[in-house]
Amino acid sequence: MKQVVIEFRKVSKRFGDIAAVIDNNLAVEQGEFLSILGPSGCGKTTSLRMMAGFEQPTSGEVFIRGEKVTGVPAYRRPVNMVFQHYALFPHLSIADNVSYGLRQRSPRPSAGEITKSVDEALDMVRLGGFGKRRTYELSGGQQQRVALARALINRPAVLLLDEPLAALDRKLRREMQVELQNLQRTVGITFLLVTHDQEEALSMSDRVCVMREGRVVQTGSPRDLYDTPINRYVAEFVGKSNFFSAASGNVTSVRPELIDIAARRKDLPQGLAIRTDGRVLNRIFLGEQTEYRIASDELGEFTVVAPRKAEHLSGTFNIGDSISAGWRPEHARLLPDN
């Protein structure tokens, strides 16, 4: 068992009548990259703000490195945050922004030490030589990296990231995802990221914690969450899935890419549990794969994603074509319908 750096013990937070976080028992392990995933209003940002010390829990306790920090203000906590819109100080140069944390320490490090640390931090985020510039001279991606340097220079117990990539465009977001991952491995600091973007959470994290209406629903590795979601909510939020109603409030969940599709039943592979006939309602060409919307008399509508590679066996289908589809028994999961 790895050492726990931040721990919530039955943490709840209410804003008036609204319960933002309910009985949260999150534990962040030393050196991991953990993401809190959920739609807006699920309590993920409030959880983060309680770790940073901007909010205090209504009940429950917060521990950092085993020490109880409930009630301790933000400026006395050994964690640092990368804000959603970076929150760089507009009146300070890049170097002064990055050195801000060091300059608050007492005793204050010498000017030489500060300069050296700032240079190292800026090099780390590939912004060497940018120290004298002003924040408004930088692009969104560069400002993001300054915010990272400004936080990491303090060697925090945990780096808290509040939707750090939300303000970037799609291409830059992908680049920053890779960069964040590399950075985390290089510096070895624990990262805790809050996001509503499942792709972001799955691609970067060691573990993902899915939240809903103030509660943690499931925590696990991205693969665990994808392959063995505990209910329909997680299956729907982490990746896409087809849901077929089953007995006693349960649903059968089948991932679209695990469904085989062919022109006739006899062309389907061996060992399928379910076979059904249907019609192609819609087709979306996505390059590396094609997404079909299928209507079947027995099962209703569902989606199938066929990889390009499978086309030389099954061929392609047009809207209105009759097809057969099926899946292996182990690929269907019976889940509680929330």
Partner 1 sequence: MQDYRHSRWITAALLAPAGVFFVFLLILPLVVVLVYSFGARAPAGGYEAAFTFDNYLNLPARGKAFFNTLTLAPLGTLLTAIAAFPVAYILALKTDPKWRVTLLVLIMAPFWTSQLLRYYAWIMLLGSKGIPSWLAYIGIADLRIINTPTAVLIGAVYGFLPLMVPPIYVSLEKLDKRLLEASADLGATPLRTFFQVTLPLALPGVATGSMLVFILLMGDYILPQYLGGGKVFFIGNALVDLFLQSRNWPYGAAVSVALVLIMFLTISLYMRFILSRTDKRRAALV
Residues contributing to the site for partner 1 (CB under 8 A): 52-54, 73-76, 79-81, 83, 85, 87-91, 100-101, 104-105, 134, 136, 150-151, 154
Residue 314 CB, nearest distance to partner 1 (Å)? 53
Cβ proximity to partner 1: between 77 and 333 the closer is 77
Residue 133 CB, nearest distance to partner 1 (Å)? 13
Residue 114 CB, nearest distance to partner 1 (Å)? 13
Residue 113 is inside which H or E element, if any? Answer: helix 111-124
Chain-centre distance for alpha carbon 138: 26
Cβ proximity to partner 1: between 148 and 299 the closer is 148
Strands (E), the chain: 4-15, 18-24, 27-29, 33-37, 59-64, 67-68, 79-82, 158-162, 190-195, 207-212, 215-220, 242-245, 250-254, 260-262, 274-285, 289-296, 300-307, 322-327, 332-336
Count of Cβ atoms closer than 10 Å to residue 179 Cβ: 17
Residue 90 CB, nearest distance to partner 1 (Å)? 5
Count of Cβ atoms closer than 10 Å to residue 233 Cβ: 19
Cβ proximity to partner 1: between 152 and 201 the closer is 152
**Which two tokens mark 311?**
């086309």
Cβ proximity to partner 1: between 133 and 240 the closer is 133
In degrees to the nearest 10, what's the CA dihedral of 100, 105, 110, 116?
-50
Residue 52 CB, nearest distance to partner 1 (Å)? 6
**Which two tokens mark 274?**
């379910």
Residue 89 CB, nearest distance to partner 1 (Å)? 6
In degrees to the nearest 10, what's the CA dihedral of 235, 239, 242, 245?
10
Cβ proximity to partner 1: between 75 and 285 the closer is 75
